[in-house]
Amino acid sequence: MEIAIAAILAVLIGLVLGVIGVVVGKRIAGGRRQTAAKSEAEKILEDAGEQRRALVIEAKEEAIKVRGEAESELRERRSEIQRTERRMSNREENVERRANNLERREKTLTIKEKEAEQAEHTLEELRQSELRRLEEVANLPMPEAKDILMRRAEDDIKHELAVQYRNIEEQAKEEANDKARSILALAIHRLAADVVSDVTLTSVPLPNDDMKGRLIGREGRNIRAIEKYTGVDMIIDDTPEAVTLSCFDPIRREVARLAVTTLVADGRIHPARIEEMVAKAEKEVADSVWKCGEAAVFDVGVRGLNPDIIRLLGRLKYRYSYGENVLQHSIEVAHLSGMIASEIGANVKTAKAGGLLHDLGKALTHEVEGPHAEIGADIAQRHSISKAICACIAEHHNDDMSSTEAFIVAAADAISAARPGSRRDTVENYIKRLEALEEVGRGFEGVEKCFAIQAGREVRIMVQPQAVDDATASKMARDVVKKIEETLVYPGQIKVTVIRESRSVEYAR
């Protein structure tokens, strides 16, 4: 504030000096103006003095105001500092009280720890004394007694674990079986398919036995021409009004059947005519193969397949496995796979395509070496089929599947193959399979009787109740299942039931 007043005074003094200079100049210029200038200068000095006094008063008032505000702020700060000092004093008192409490608690805990150590030491002495007394009473050294107790505890734990395992397994089986049974039953019921079993046609009917001589021809030239152009063996025996065609290739056998049937109906049988009819039959079979492949693809609803794949599918019409038509079986597996996939939320298109193509390799098993699953997967891969579908084809006979769709295709394949009448077998093989199942069951200790029932779909094992308890019976069922899976080959699944029965018999006399 003093600086502002000094500045104002300096300005005023400067003004005064300027005015005086002007006046002096004017006095030098003319004396007549001296008096007037002097009076004017005095007036200006008076005005400047009044302004100076007003500014000084105003500056003092401002200084007094600022000083009052500063003093008020200082008082507030002092009061705040006093309050803070009181709070800090209270906190110090609280901390001191807590420190005292902690010190008392620490002393109490130290005393309790010493008491606990003494009690632990006393208990250890009592335990050692008790062990010595037990050794004296049992007449057994400590390590041997410990081994006995451990063995008993281990047996008890094993028994408890077996019981718990059996209960959990039964619960899981009930839930899984109900869900799987519901899904499979729904899929099977939705697919109203006929039994796919069929008989391979290898014989050609003749109108009369004289036709056999005409088929043989002069010096056997006709039969040699038929065998040469068709690649099949014609067997003419004592069978009345029929000849038999034998060949490992079903396509060539079908060509020969059509050609011989046409020749017999036409009546003109000579080498040139035989060659013409065989060529015509080959064209008919090729057209039939393509139409059957297209019909299968259209029926299942799989699109975008290579024409070579479609032709291979059509060739499956003339292939049979255990009396089962492979093309019809593939179509059925495709439908079942699609339905199961839709029920569990898997990829329906992949499952359908994998089911339709899973036996594709059987069309070339006579021409290419190797398992039909690997052959089919290799062919599909070469024709730009997706990896997921190739996996379904390659893994449908494996135990480990890389995807849900591959597992679905394997399950659908087993369902189709397990349909009643889908597979034929000889009585000897049937009896051997049942005997093998019963032999596996009788190979376990404690088994009294073993029966294979339901055409080998179930094995019932009667055990001796004195030798096998309930928990062991559950474990035996799992062991029998594992041994069957490791040693036997069978279609579908086999149910193993272990029966333990205890009877108490008394007679009233």
| SS3 per residue for 236-275 | CCCCCCEEEEECCCHHHHHHHHHHHHHHHHHCCCCHHHHH
Is 449:462 a contact under the CB 8 Å cutoff? yes
Q: What is the pLDDT of residue 70?
A: 86
Give the C-alpha separation, 222 to 234, whole Å: 11
What is the enclosing helix (H) or strand (E) of 350? helix 348-357
pLDDT mean across residues, the chain: 78
Summarised one tens digit per residue, pLDDT across range 168-198 is: 877 777 776 666 666 666 665 555 454 444 4
The larger pLDDT score, comparing residue 18 to residue 320, is at 320
175 conformational bin, left if phi > 0, alpha if psi -120 to 50, beta if neither:
alpha
What backbone torsions phi and psi does residue 73 show, to the nearest 5 degrees?
-65, -40
In the predicted model, is pLDDT for residue 262 greater than 70?
yes
Q: What is the pLDDT of residue 201?
A: 46
Using only C-alpha atoms, the chain has a radius of gyration, in whole angstroms, of 55
- What burial class does residue 451 get, using C-beta atoms within 10 Å of its C-beta: 0-12 exposed, 13-18 middle, 19+ buried? middle
Give the C-alpha separation, 407 to 399, whole Å: 9
**Closest of 491, 189, 492 to residue 343, by C-alpha:** 189
Task: Please give the share of the chain, as a percent, with pLDDT higher than 70.
Answer: 80
- Alpha helix (H) ranges present in 301-317? 307-315
The larger pLDDT score, comparing residue 16 to residue 391, is at 391
In the predicted model, is pLDDT for residue 156 greater than 60?
yes
Q: What is the pLDDT of residue 197?
A: 42
- What's the mean pLDDT in 414-424? 62
Is 190:339 a contact under the CB 8 Å cutoff? yes
- What's the mean pLDDT in 196-202? 46
pLDDT confidence band for 265 (50 / 70 / 90): confident
In the predicted model, is pLDDT for residue 472 greater than 70?
yes
Strand partners, 245: 234
